[in-house]
Amino acid sequence: MRFTVLGPVRAWREDAELELGPPKQRALLALLLVRAGQPVALSEIVDVLWAQDPPSTAVNVVHRHVGSVRRLLEPGLAVRAEGSRLVRSSGGYRLNVGPDTLDLLRFRHLSESARRTAAEGEPERGAELFAQALALWQGPTATGVPSDIQTHPVFSGVDRELLAIAKEAATTALVSEVPERLPTVLQQFAAHHALDETLQAQLIRVLATTGRRAEALEVFSAARNRLADQLG
């Protein structure tokens, strides 16, 4: 199976995309994917799905959604069987996936390899690995879950993590050869973080360094006007 959470929450079995069910079931899967390989306590699941106002039936609803997700991931599983993907763990549940099946884990693996490679004196290769990692991003984390759930720190924290890596990628690229795909990826990030002055400045420098001076000037002008209008 394959999963994405860096953007829309999606899942495939071979080449067939799966229907992930109702909104809170989709949100539960998104939470388990963001915390892949780690136990997620039942109390945390309830907090993410209902914040400060869970219904009296919250725990039962979670158990029902867990059963549905488990059958979705392993359709041949017998009733009440534990399965091997979504398992009980430390008073909650753990989803077992790896970097070869989940974009977030692949992103983290590539980012760590990029950082290590650059530190070992190969900034060009490090910048290319950062570019590969950032190319996995398809939009805000867990797109498609209810908006009040998507703003929970468990998801917004991943967005901050990606933003930090985008800035690190730009810094690495500016001391080496800028990978061909990096300016486009940075433009996508910058569009979603329009008030982040550091990222806008790095994008301008990357565009100028790669000979795209007209685009760099356009970004500068747009960022200056936007910051003046919205922040004073």
107 & 15 share domain: no
Out of 95, 111, 134, a domain closes at: 95
User: Do 136 and 6 meet the contact criterion of CB atoms below 8 Å apart?
Assistant: yes
227 & 143 share domain: yes
Q: Report the CATH number at residue 151.
A: 1.25.40.10
Give the C-alpha separation, 181 to 178, whole Å: 8
* Domain with 118 in it: 103-231
pLDDT of residue 227: 87
Number of domains in the chain: 2
Q: Report the CATH number at residue 68.
A: 1.10.10.10
Mean pLDDT across the chain, nearest whole number? 93
Q: Give tens-digit pLDDT for 194-221.
A: 999 999 999 999 999 999 999 999 999 9
User: Do 57 and 40 meet the contact criterion of CB atoms below 8 Å apart?
Assistant: no
Sheet holding 2-4, edge to edge: 2-4, 10-13, 16-17
pLDDT of residue 47: 95
Nearest by Cα to 45 from 20, 70, 62? 62
Out of 49, 72, 95, a domain closes at: 95
Between 23-34 and 153-174, two packed helices, what is the crossing angle to 10 degrees?
50
82 & 140 share domain: no
- What b/e string do you get for 179-200 counting C-beta neighbours within 10 Å, with b at 16 or more? beebbebbeebbeebeebeebb
Q: Give 232 or 197, the one with higher predicted confidence.
A: 197
Q: Is 95 helix (H, G, I), strand (E, B) or coil?
A: strand
Q: Give tens-digit pLDDT for 32-86.
A: 999 999 999 999 999 999 988 899 999 999 999 999 999 899 888 776 667 789 9
